[in-house]
Amino acid sequence: MQYVSTRGQAPDLTFGDVLLTGLARDGGLYVPGAWPQLSHDDLRALAGLPYADAAARILSPFMDGIDEDELSAMTRDAYGAFVDPGVVPLRQLSDGHWLMELFHGPTLAFKDVAMQLLGRLFDRELARRQQRVTIVGATSGDTGSAAIEACRDRDAIDIFILYPDGRVSEVQRRQMTTVLSDNVHNIAIEGTFDDCQALVKAAFNDLVFRDEIAMSAVNSINWARVVAQVAYYITSAVALGAPDKRVSFAVPTGNFGCVFAGYAARQMGLPMDKLIVATNRNDILHRFFQTGAYRKDQVVATQSPSMDIQVASNFERLLFDLAGRDGAVVRQQMQALADQEGLEVTPEALAQAHELFLSHRVDEETTTATIGEVFREYSIALDPHSAVGLRAARDLLPDGPVITLSTAHPAKFPDAVEKACGQSPALPAHMADIYQREERYTVLPNELAAVQAHIRSLRRT
Ligand SMILES: *Cc1c(COP(=O)(O)O)cnc(C)c1O
């Protein structure tokens, strides 16, 4: 399997290179040169398999050099620690509506599903190449803990996570700082999340430093993270009767990674009715699907912070397909986005998108009302991200059949849940003692030189 850049000017790469590289050298994102295909018989044969085995079968065609058996050993290891034996269980709400619970991993959000596998893929590829990497990332809350859990105790990886001092919730901070492994380093920056992100970017652009520490990233444009999410669309649809029955999905969306994985599942041959892009007030994607114009706006803070995003970094992957896989068109579009704060697709491209995609925007009050409604109807406490998804599913496809992706455990967003339901959700058993655990982190000023010196002194060589 060769991977091509969405901007058409970077060399084609293999999976191992794409895994370690992240962004293409022409500024584009890597996508498969062709979508691996699953026949209807292939889909039927997945029925009843344990999730880890089904995921290995679905994903191995994307990963040259890793056969199904080797990948299956990795997925079993990655998903063995998930609290629910089904890993990504379906829960039926009503006749046509299901929730897929993606939050049973170590940090209680769906990012674990991809990150847990990514850590193991990194380890394998680095061992094969006899290389080490230093992962440096910035987080506003959820991504940092998922990355730390995925990379802790891995021989070939040191990981440094920058977060804004005093500006992440206590649960989020403790999920990072109570991991005391030798290769894990938390840095509380005296600044904002934007400062943290700017420091990481500046470190990346310091080419001498970048090469010296073999710097790498695990952010959401990494193809391996996106592809790992394809498996649960396919296994859940098969559990509800695919390929002989057709389901829809509703996806709470920020960076367009999760929902792009749903699109990929459909391109691989999974019969799918509609794919709903559900946004909070930060609605650039909803406006795009309404009008064909993708225009930047101010980011506003909401109860669903992981979706408070202005420019969805994975959206370029869809633009590439809508442009007939013509990298020159995508280059022009991305230039317009940079220069004029917006881009447009042709009416034909928008019509093509509408064959699959629907979109919906859910405001703050409706999100709270939905959490309360579902709690009264089913005694299920939804986190605010999942509530945005379910609201979209119920409004757009009231009869279903539709699976809403439930992306975070309610205990991760206790304030929003308490406000809506009148009671606070309990932390799951494996995290119940998180307020008693020892923490380790270093506070640093918002200065690149200080951060670089810290990384140099602590990374293992
Ligand atoms: C990251 C995240 C999302 C958004 O996912 P994207 O792949 O960025 O669209 C939704 N919900 C939760 C809880 C998340 O952590």
Please give all residues whose beta carbon lies within 6 A of any atom in ligand 1, as ranges.
Answer: 109, 111, 142, 220, 252-259, 306-307, 385, 407-408
- Ligand 1: atom nearest CA of 103 is 13
**Which one of the listed residues 111, 245, 296, 412 is annotated catalytic?**
111
Choosing from 118, 145, 171, 255 the residue with most ligand 1 atoms within 8 A of its CB, the one to mutate for a pocket test is 255
Say how many Å lie between the CA of residue 426 and the centre of ligand 1. 22
Cα 238 to Cα 271: distance, rounded to the nearest angstrom: 10
User: Mean pLDDT lowest for which of 201-205, 271-275, 355-359, 362-366?
Assistant: 201-205
Model confidence at 22: pLDDT above 80: no
> Counting Cβ atoms within 10 Å, is residue 95 exposed (0-12), middle (13-18) or buried (19+)?
exposed
Q: Are strands 293-295 and 215-216 parallel, antiparallel or unpaired?
A: unpaired
Q: Are strands 342-344 and 184-189 parallel, antiparallel or unpaired?
A: unpaired
Q: How confident is the model at residue 205 (pLDDT cuts 50, 70, 90)?
A: confident
Q: How confident is the model at residue 43 (pLDDT cuts 50, 70, 90)?
A: very high
- Ligand 1: atom nearest CA of 258 is 7
Mean pLDDT of 148-164: 94
* 444 and 451 Cβ atoms separated by less than 8 Å: yes
By residue count, the chain amounts to: 461
CA 437 and chain centroid, separation = 28
What pLDDT is stored for residue 159 in this prediction? 97
Taken in order of first residue, the domains within the chain and their CATH numbers are 86-106+226-421 (3.40.50.1100)
Cβ neighbors of 459 (< 8 A, separation 6 or more) are 134, 158, 160, 213
Say how many Å lie between the CA of residue 252 and the centre of ligand 1. 7
Model confidence at 141: pLDDT above 80: no
Cα 256 to Cα 423: distance, rounded to the nearest angstrom: 32
Q: Whose CA is nearest to atom 8 of ligand 1?
A: 255
Q: Are strands 97-101 and 402-406 parallel, antiparallel or unpaired?
A: parallel
Cα 207 to Cα 215: distance, rounded to the nearest angstrom: 10
Choosing from 367, 407, 413, 417 the residue with most ligand 1 atoms within 8 A of its CB, the one to mutate for a pocket test is 407
User: Mean pLDDT lowest for which of 17-31, 319-333, 344-358, 405-419?
Assistant: 17-31
Model confidence at 135: pLDDT above 90: yes
Q: Whose CA is nearest to atom 2 of ligand 1?
A: 306
Q: Which amino acid is at 405?
A: L
419: annotated active-site residue: no
Count CB neighbours of 297 within 10 A: 13
Choosing from 313, 385, 412 the residue with most ligand 1 atoms within 8 A of its CB, the one to mutate for a pocket test is 385
What pLDDT is stored for residue 147 in this prediction? 95
Mean pLDDT of 117-144: 92
User: Mean pLDDT lowest for which of 203-207, 351-355, 358-362?
Assistant: 203-207
Cβ neighbors of 132 (< 8 A, separation 6 or more) are 126, 156, 157, 158, 214, 460, 461
Mean pLDDT of the chain: 94
Mean pLDDT of 69-84: 96
Cβ neighbors of 146 (< 8 A, separation 6 or more) are 105, 107, 109, 111, 112, 115
Residue 216: which H helix or E strand, with range?
strand 215-216
Strands (E), 46-132: 90-94, 97-101
* 268 and 294 Cβ atoms separated by less than 8 Å: no
Mean pLDDT of 320-343: 95
pTM, rounded to two decimals: 0.94
